[in-house]
């Protein structure tokens, strides 16, 4: 499970930190393990392209590495596109089989990012977004 790329993202997380005056932000909590993730997004001048993403919080290697990978994947993409990103796209990137419990760790960051983007754009969160019902998103 702890393959090289996961360990690399865990030990050297991309985009760890806070964006002051972010264009979109949200925080989430996994009540199962107490993991917390806050995500901050800033848009480019077009108000659509993701210029920067940062995250803070605490959690297991899987949740931290997955969120770090998500930061790499998010930069340069369009906000509306990213808000619709299927979870499988992230899971393929993670590339390891995850038990249902660890799946929630892996998807915490994506859930929080989606909340942030939908909230900033005023669009409703897609109903089919699996895994979210188990998380507390603020």
Partner 1 sequence: MAVTARPKLDARKQRADFPIFNELIHGKPLSFLDSAASSQKPRQVLDAMQHFYETSYAKVHRGVYELAERATAGYEGARETVGRFLNAPSSREVVFTRNATEAINVVAYAWGLNNLGPGDVVLVTELEHHSNFVPWQYIAHRTGADFRMLPLDDEGELRLDALDEVAGAGRVKVVAAGMVSNSLGSVNPVEKLAAWAHERGAIMVCDAAQGAPHRVVDVQALGADFVAVTAHKLCGPSGIGALWGRMELLEAMEPFNLGGHMISRVTVEDTSWGEVPAKFEAGTQAIAEAVGFGAAIDYISEIGLDAIEQHEHELAAYGLERLAELPWVKTYGPPADRRAGIISFNVDGIHPHDVAQILDGEGVAIRAGHHCCQPLMTKLGVAATNRASFYLYTVTDEIDRLIAGLHKVRKILS
Kindly state the tokens that stand for 134.
């188990």
Q: Which is nearer to partner 1, 23 or 35 (CB)?
A: 35
Q: Which is nearer to partner 1, 60 or 91 (CB)?
A: 60
Q: Which is nearer to partner 1, 28 or 43 (CB)?
A: 28
CB of 61 to partner 1, least distance (A): 5
Q: Which is nearer to partner 1, 59 or 111 (CB)?
A: 59
- d(CA 125, CA 111) in angstroms, rounded, equals 10
SS (H, E, C) 64-131: HHHHHHHHHHHCCCEHHHHHCCCHHHHHHHHCCCCCHHHHHHHHHHHHHHHHHHHHHHCCCCCCCCCC
- Candidates 23, 62, 39; CA nearest to 137 is 39
Give the three-class secondary structure for 133: helix
CB of 33 to partner 1, least distance (A): 5
Asked whether the beta carbons of 14 and 71 are under 8 A apart, the reply is yes
CB of 36 to partner 1, least distance (A): 7
Q: Which is nearer to partner 1, 74 or 112 (CB)?
A: 112
CB of 34 to partner 1, least distance (A): 3
CB of 2 to partner 1, least distance (A): 5
- Judged by the rule CB under 8 A, the positions of this chain that interact with partner 1 are 1-2, 7, 10, 32-36, 58-62, 102, 105
Task: Tell me the residue length of the chain.
Answer: 138
């Amino acid at each position: 499970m702890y393959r090289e790329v996961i360990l690399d993202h865990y030990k050297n997380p991309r985009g760890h930190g806070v964006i002051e005056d972010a264009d979109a932000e949200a925080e989430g909590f996994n009540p199962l393990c107490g993991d917390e993730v806050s995500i901050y997004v800033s848009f480019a001048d077009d108000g659509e392209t993701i210029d920067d993403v940062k995250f803070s919080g605490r959690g297991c290697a899987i949740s931290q590495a997955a969120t770090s990978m998500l930061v790499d994947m998010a930069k340069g993409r369009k906000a509306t596109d990213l808000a619709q990103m299927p979870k499988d796209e992230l899971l393929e990137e993670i590339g390891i089989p995850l038990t249902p419990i660890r799946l929630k760790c892996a998807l915490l960051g994506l859930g929080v990012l989606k909340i942030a983007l939908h909230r900033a754009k005023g669009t409703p969160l897609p109903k089919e977004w699996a895994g979210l019902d188990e998380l507390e998103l603020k």
